[in-house]
């Protein structure tokens, strides 16, 4: 099976712009989670989707939003970009939602905000 | 709220030496515990996890971790490391109804 794919892999934006990142989970996986990874804060949970419904949300401002489509693909959007949004954004999928589930991570999208 | 503390941000060791990466968690409910590894320029991959049962869990590449409820710890060990074990290691905790919470990571550097 193909792994989790994320597009684009690299992105450069300027402050105030918005960005949309895409994640395609492993075939058959219905749960998708998003994480932000930075050197200072480490890995921080953004949100989790299962069957097109948001199950959990991390402590991020409303500028960060996401959605999941009927084919389980997911997008996250960040509006009004700030310099501090520069990070590696990781997507992970699992067959079903649940605290016991192993997360399968994609390679990430590296976002640089200038 | 749950939290994870990885006590060492960097651990340098020589090849074939033993290593222990320390992880402590705080939670008021039953937890599930995970170790993930991230190689350079890659996403994370699961190394091992504790869900229930035997407190000692092992991975296929020689790592093991022991769940210690009284000390709220889940330390990762390997008796003899290889150069290829050089990576960043993340401890994580979850419980029913919550998201996966990660520690800040430990960079393991193995040199010859």
Closest chain A C-alpha to B49 CA, distance in angstroms = 8
Nearest CA in chain A to B88: A42
Give yes or no for A1 touching B (CB within 8 A): no
The answer to whether A103 contacts B100, with C-beta atoms less than 8 Å apart, is: yes
| Tens place of pLDDT per residue across chain B (112 aa) | 789 999 999 999 999 999 999 999 998 788 999 999 999 888 899 999 999 888 999 998 899 999 999 999 999 999 999 999 999 999 999 988 888 999 999 999 999 9
* Structure tokens, A55: 């199950």
The answer to whether A92 contacts B105, with C-beta atoms less than 8 Å apart, is: no
Helix (H, G, I), strand (E, B) or coil at B79: coil
Identify the pLDDT of residue B30.
86
Q: Which is nearest to A81 in space by CA: A16, A37, A31? A: A16
Give yes or no for A100 touching B (CB within 8 A): yes
Q: Which residues of B4-37 are buried (b: 16+ CB within 10 A; e: fewer)?
A: bebeeeebebeeeeebebbbbbebeeebbbbbbb
Q: What is the pLDDT of residues A13-51, one digit of tens each?
A: 999 999 999 999 999 999 999 999 998 889 999 999 999
Quickly count: other Cβ atoms within 10 Å of residue A7's Cβ.
12
The DSSP call for residue A102 is P
Contacts of B51 in chain A (CB under 8 A): 100
For CA atoms B63, B19, B91, A104, the dihedral sign is negative
* Structure tokens, A16: 């105030």
Instruction: List the end-to-end C-alpha distance of chain A, in Å, as a whole number.
Output: 37
């Amino acid at each position: 099976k193909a792994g989790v794919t994320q597009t684009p892999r690299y992105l450069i934006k300027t402050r105030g712009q918005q960005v949309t990142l895409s994640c395609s989970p492993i075939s058959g996986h219905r749960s998708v989670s998003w994480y932000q990874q930075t050197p200072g804060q480490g890995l921080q949970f953004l949100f989790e989707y299962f069957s097109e419904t948001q199950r959990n949300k991390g402590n991020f401002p409303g500028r960060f939003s996401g959605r999941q489509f009927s084919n389980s693909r997911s997008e996250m959007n960040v509006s009004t970009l700030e310099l501090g949004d520069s990070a590696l954004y990781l997507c992970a999928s699992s067959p079903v939602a649940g605290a016991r589930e192993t997360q399968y991570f994609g390679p990430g999208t590296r976002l640089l905000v200038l | 709220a749950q939290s994870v503390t990885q006590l060492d941000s960097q651990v340098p060791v020589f090849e074939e030496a033993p290593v222990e990466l320390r992880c402590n968690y705080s939670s008021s409910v039953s937890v599930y515990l995970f170790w993930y590894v991230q190689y350079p320029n890659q996403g994370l991959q699961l190394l091992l996890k504790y869900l229930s049962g035997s407190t000692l869990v092992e991975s296929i590449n020689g790592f093991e971790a022991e769940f210690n409820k009284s000390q709220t710890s889940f330390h990762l060990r390997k008796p003899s490391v290889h150069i290829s074990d050089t990576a960043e290691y993340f401890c994580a905790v979850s419980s029913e109804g919550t998201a996966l919470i990660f520690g800040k990571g430990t960079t393991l550097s193995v040199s010859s």
